Structure 1
Amino acid sequence: MKKWLQRLIVIFVAFITFGIISPNHEIWEHLDYDQSENSKSNLPDSAVVERSIADQRDNHSDSSNESYIDTIIDDAKEQSFIKFGTRIAPVIGDEFEYSIFPKMEEIIGIELAKLDSNSLKYIKITEQPSGNYSEKIFNLIDVATGKDLIRFHVRTEKRPLEGYYYNFHYHTYEDRFVTHHNVGDIYYSKNTPPKWLS
């Protein structure tokens, strides 16, 4: 391929991809093949470049989606510990982190995987867990529509002869938040637990 044509393609691709694909990117190796190597491939140079550009965009989109999902999961954990407050967190924090939160993280990941990149950017975690003895930890909400996708709750249960347990569960929009989906239980103690956020 003529050098001037190759340089023109490099400039064009760098401009179209906003600099994501630089002149020393691996796709340019395909342009350096001689005619004999090029004949081994069924794809012409332009198809190789277009496929590589599409792969690069998909990878960039996937990584930004993963990054955004990680941010949502971090916010979910933060809101959970805010809900526990300074009196409950020391008692159940470790068990929550190792046995309950990984399940919550998986549930959030499954729900967010159903969304496309455009819809995903409108998903947020509510920032005010409820206090007293109310159940709400946080909701996963679509701010574009104002509707909840998932509601994560924790209920205080007194079991005869055993004491108090925290039951972690969630509700989804798919059944209009009717079904109680269990995540797990954590034992607190035989003593009455303090109010949330305390």
Structure 2
Amino acid sequence: MKNWIQKTLVVAVALLTFGVISPNHTIWENLLEDKANQKTISTQNTQNTYAVEWVDDQPSTFIEDAIAQAKEQSLLKFGSRIGPVITNEFDEIIFPKIQEAIQLTLFDMDNESLKSLAITENPSGDHSEKIFHIYETVTGSDIIRFHVRTDRKPQDGYYFNFHYHTASDTFAKHYTLGDIYWSKNMPPKWLS
């Protein structure tokens, strides 16, 4: 199947379902006409990257792994004190939007560029915003950055503002993913 048809279908599903249903990439593998030409290449595990399997030079596994790693890094950032309180709301409201942002950002990239991408593995603690970044391993430049900021709204209390920045606008604009209410008391530090 042509690569542009696959990308169009992925974006159509993401837009029509608002990211609630992520496309199943095993469909693409079953639709391939020439199964004999499939090849598998694995990249080595390093501190900031993880195993990626390439089938017919298609990036489907990287996108799936990046989404799984995004979930893992988010839960790691929340820690044992914040995580149990906000995880359900995060899973229902924020994480589908993170999936959609990853898919839409990586949609326009060619296969060679996708092969050189990795996701950071160490979210920042204390009161820092960084959850994870997707970056290019060759140049070290970030492609997309996912952050969470603690906001205090007078009379309401504390909220966690989830947002991301992209390289396309030199990380100047906040793309809001949503807010989760904490309480009127100041939340603990990240990773605690």
Q: TM-score, normalised by structure 2?
A: 0.71
Tell me what 2:62 maps to.
68
Which residue matches 2:121? 127
| Aligned residue in 2 for 1:141 | 135
Verify: 1:88 aligned to 2:82, yes or no: yes
Per the TM alignment, residue 61 of structure 1 is displaced from its structure 2 partner at its CA by 2.9
3-state SS, counterpart of residue 145 of structure 2: strand
What SS is found at the alignment partner of 2:56? Answer: helix
Specify which of 95, 99, 102 is matched with residue 93 of structure 2: 99
Larger radius of gyration: 1
Q: Which has the higher helix share?
A: 1
RMSD over aligned CA atoms reads 2.1
Give, in whole Å, the separation in 1 of the partners of 2:66 and 2:105.
Answer: 12
**Cα offset, 1:54, TM superposition:** 9.6
Percent identity between the two aligned chains: 53
- The ranges of structure 1 where at least 4 consecutive aligned residues each deviate by more than 3 angstroms after the TM superposition are 52-57
- For the 8 Å contact 1:61–1:117, the answer to whether it is kept is no
- Structure 2 residue runs without a partner (length 5+): 1-32, 39-54
- How many residue pairs get aligned? The number is 146
1:53, 1:78 → 2: CA distance? 35
> What is the CA deviation profile of residues 147-190 of structure 1, one whole-angstrom value per residue up to 9, with x for unaligned ones?
00011110000111111100000111111111111110000111
Please tell me whether residue 185 in structure 1 is matched to residue 191 in structure 2: no
Residues 74-114 of structure 1: CA distance to partner in whole angstroms, max 9, x if unpaired?
01110011100000000101100110000010000111111
1:68 positional shift: 1.7
Normalised by the size of structure 1, how large is the TM-score? 0.69
**1-structure distance, mates of 2:35, 2:135:** 31
Q: What letter corresponds to residue 88 of structure 1 in structure 2?
A: I
Partner Cα distance (2:123, 2:148) in 1:
11
Match 1:79 to one of 60, 73, 95: 73
